[in-house]
Amino acid sequence: MTKTKTKVGFRGFTKPIDVEVPAGDPAPWDADARLRVVGARAARREARAKVAAAARFAADRAGAALFARVLVAPFAPVVVTALDARVVARAPGVRAVHAFKKIGDEISFAGDPILAVAADTDEQAEEALLLAAAAIKYERRQPATTINDTRRPDAPQVLPDGARRRGQREGDAVAARTAVEEAPAFLEAIYETWPQAAGWAEPQAAHATPGGAIAPVEVTARGTGGGDAAAAAAALARIAGKPVLARLSRAADLALGGGRPASLHHLRAGIAKDGAIAGLVVEGWVSAGTVEVAGPAAPPLYDLGKYAREERHPATHAPPATPASGPGTLHGVFALESFLDECAHAVGVDPLALRRKLCKDELCLAEWELGARLIGWDRRARDPGAGSGVRKRGLGMASTWGGGLGQPGAEVVLVADAARGVRLSIGAPDAGVGLPTQLAAIVAEELGLAPEAIEFDAGVPRQPVELPDHRLALASFGPAARQAAYVLGGRLREAAARRWGVMVDEVRLDGGRVAARGQSLAFGEACALLGGDATVTGRSSAPYAAFHGKTRGCQFAEVEVDIETGELRVIKIVAVQDAGRVVNPTLAETQLAGQVMEGLSRALFEQRVIDRHTGGHLSGDLLSYRIAGPMDAPEIVAIPFDVANAGNSVGVLGLGDAAVLPTAAAIGNAIFNATGIRMRTLPMARDRLARAVAVARRAGPRPS
């Protein structure tokens, strides 16, 4: 560890701090750093290949000897009563069959893999699956698919042996309850979110080759993730003794790809005379199939007085929710940020003014000010539903927190080569943040090269596939890349210094050359000096003590609602999001805009539908599982808020995670401002909106 002075902050607010930098890491780029490549705009390297359909994904892999498909359970819960793999094995072209389940196994969710088949052609594998589907028999039982199902006295048991999830508690429940009860004003509301899937654009696929006893199976999942496809491919490759390409169907991918849990949250607040919140009690239910997903932790932004949360995590017969962007907190942010809007309305203050009262964080305040200016917050009508006509406009906002510094152990390998220049590789697929472009910029910055001089390869076999967490991809791989480049640069300097008889400190890496005291070598020539020592592995360190270890952000929405039909148009969304250091403004903006689209999609459309009687998965295609399309896109103003952070050597934070979370509450709050109708259920789909405007119309104008 080396103690280093550094300057952190953002435009209009900086301060010096000391950080402990682990051995091997360079000193962080700070608020005064003058960088050449990092922070400059550049187009995404693979953009052209992606839009021209030339990009190759795992599913496109040619040269597989065998093609595999995976049969999943159609209903749940079921017990397998007949499963004859021999019928399938005799089907034309079939070379291997692997059963994930056996007779007597109980299956708790539709979509759970039962059997995988490898055949000479993809079509033969598909036909064999149809045979398999006909040959497998189940005994069906009554499912508990929703949180409400699990609360019935006769609720079916989900976990084996009567086990129950413990759930979570935080805060002093007695103190919080007392504060709520003794406050002069009281407000409560219940928010509900339905489960959502987290599939990839391309359904999971993986390629496996059989090996000897030492290296049993090599699995490649280049381009997309592939846990379940990889398991099938690996098992079948071992049986068949040939390479296997396994692909999941869209329906299986939508069930197995993880997703957001279902939730119910009951919030009760005691409000003091001055509008401050004296206490907040959150009672919640969060359900993620048979796995457990943590609920929302205490929101770090606000002073909520005495805070307590008690949450149950009932298991259901639904596909598991697994970490996706903000798995634990989408519902938490939706509930809290909607509830703050309700509190503000109840005490007659502007919702942004209430937040300013509850939060003094300088970064939040700066982001709010910018967001409010860009949406034109001063246009916001004080009274909800104030506009005339049937199409009413309104403004709403919500804040977010989360994301943060990367995780330790992410690996980047740099190979410097006299002939081919510098090649950079990681073992994980690029989850979409543009790692090739961004990591190349970091390496180029450190080595004095043009970013185009750096080659990139993601998802290289035999490097660890374990991605720390794809939400933090750049925050983890970025510092690893800088460390590798820093070490490589150090070796180049030493080699040049030895050759020229100068001090190492005198050697500069700049403009594609290595130079000192009037002597210089082209970068490639300098690499030749390293001999066999030209491969460096960089590993991300644990985060340093940072200025802000968690991101903050906010979104402001303008909507138009037709109060007769419930038609909703989101007109504009302004997103201001702390990203730590912005490595590439173009990519950061497009990523942030993408997160806003995901947030809008989850706010308005996405819902995983499980039949309440059969437990069957009904939203297994992209017409039933609706994702927002281009025609649903509002004008998006995406502002990655550049903050010198010093939490790692690059100062970069995860941008994607937190920016998905506030969109739903911002839209819901804007709907309230436009119409006086409060949407407390996600997704705010058309049927719910149509029902809500009909109910409001029957109720007539509300007494003010």
Compose the 78-117 pattern: x for residues touching another protein by CB under 8 A, - for all others.
----------------------------------------
Stretch that binds another protein, among 31-39, 360-368, 608-616, 673-681 (CB under 8 A): 608-616
Report, in Å, the least distance between residue 254 CB and another protein.
Answer: 12
| Distance in Å, CB of 613 to another protein, minimum | 6
DSSP state of 685: -
**Nearest to another protein of 463, 565 (CB atom):** 565
Task: Please tell me the distance from the alpha carbon of residue 552 to that of residue 659, in angstroms, as a whole number.
Answer: 9
Tokens for 600, please give them. Answer: 């809008």
410-429 residues in contact with another protein (CB under 8 A) are none
Q: Does residue 700 bind another protein (CB under 8 A)?
A: no
652 belongs to the binding site for another protein (CB under 8 A): no
Q: Which stretch binds another protein (CB under 8 A): 31-39, 316-324, 344-352, 607-615?
A: 607-615
By the rule CB under 8 A, 135 interacts with another protein: no
Q: 533 to 572, contacts with another protein by CB under 8 A?
A: 564-567
Give the x/- contact pattern for another protein in 320-349, rule: CB under 8 A: ------------------------------
Could you say whether residue 631 binds another protein (CB under 8 A)?
A: yes
User: How do beta strands 508-510 and 454-457 pair?
Assistant: unpaired
Q: How many whole angstroms separate alpha carbon 84 and alpha carbon 70?
A: 15
Instruction: Pick between residue 310 and residue 562 the one whose CB is nearest to another protein.
Output: 562
The CA-based angle 585-553-558, given to 5 degrees, is 95
629 contacts another protein (rule: CB under 8 A): yes
- Print the binding letters for residues 247-286 with another protein: x by CB under 8 A, - otherwise: ----x-----------------------------------
Number of residues that bind another protein (CB under 8 A): 38
Q: How far is the CB of 589 from another protein (least distance, A)?
A: 23
Sequential DSSP letters for 569-598: EEEEEEEEEE-BS-S-HHHHHHHHHHHHHH
Quickly count: other Cβ atoms within 10 Å of residue 323's Cβ: 17
Q: Which is it for the CA torsion 685, 691, 696, 697, positive or negative?
A: positive
Residue partners of 28: CB distance under 8 A and separation at least 6: 4, 6, 19, 21, 544, 645, 646, 647, 648, 649, 650, 651
579: Cβ contacts below 8 Å, ≥ 6 apart: 551, 588, 592, 640, 641, 642, 643, 652, 653, 655
Bridge partners, residue 186, by sequence:
270
Window 31-70: contact mask with another protein (x via CB under 8 A): ----------------------------------------
- The residues facing 170 across adjacent strands are 309
47's tokens: 């953009």
Calpha distance 157→108 (Å, rounded): 10
* 366/604 with CB nearer another protein: 604
Query: Smallest gap, in angstroms, from Cβ of residue 133 to another protein?
Result: 7
390 phi, psi to nearest 5 deg: -90, -20
Task: Tell me how far apart the terminal alpha carbons of the chain are, to the nearest angstrom.
Answer: 63
Residue 172 in contact with another protein, rule: CB under 8 A? no
- Distance, CA of 619 to CA of 606 (rounded, Å): 10
> How many CA within 13 A on the CB side of residue 617?
29
Q: Does 614 bind another protein (CB under 8 A)?
A: yes
Binding of residue 127 to another protein (CB under 8 A): yes
Q: Is 298:632 a contact under the CB 8 Å cutoff?
A: no
Sequence-distant (≥ 6) Cβ neighbours of residue 464 within 8 angstroms: 411, 427, 428
User: Which 661-690 residues touch another protein, going by CB under 8 A?
Assistant: 685-687, 690
Query: CB-wise, 127 or 430, nearer to another protein?
Result: 127
Decide if residue 123 touches another protein (CB under 8 A): yes
Residue 292 binds another protein (CB under 8 A): no
616: contact with another protein by CB under 8 A: yes
Cα separation, 264 vs 262, in Å, equals 7
Q: Three-state DSSP class for 320?
A: coil
Tell whether residue 137 is a contact of another protein (CB under 8 A): no
For residue 120, state whether it binds another protein (rule: CB under 8 A).
no
* Backbone region of residue 162 per phi and psi (left: phi > 0; alpha: psi in -120 to 50; beta: other values): left
Question: Measured from the CB atom, is 378 or 687 closer to another protein?
Answer: 687
Among 150, 619, 645, 649, binds another protein (CB under 8 A): 619
Contacting another protein (CB under 8 A), which of 173, 349, 571, 609? 609
Q: Which is nearer to another protein, 69 or 309 (CB)?
A: 69
Q: Which residues bind another protein (CB under 8 A)?
A: 74-75, 123, 126-127, 130, 133, 251, 564-567, 605, 609, 611-614, 616-621, 623-624, 626, 628-632, 685-687, 690-691, 694
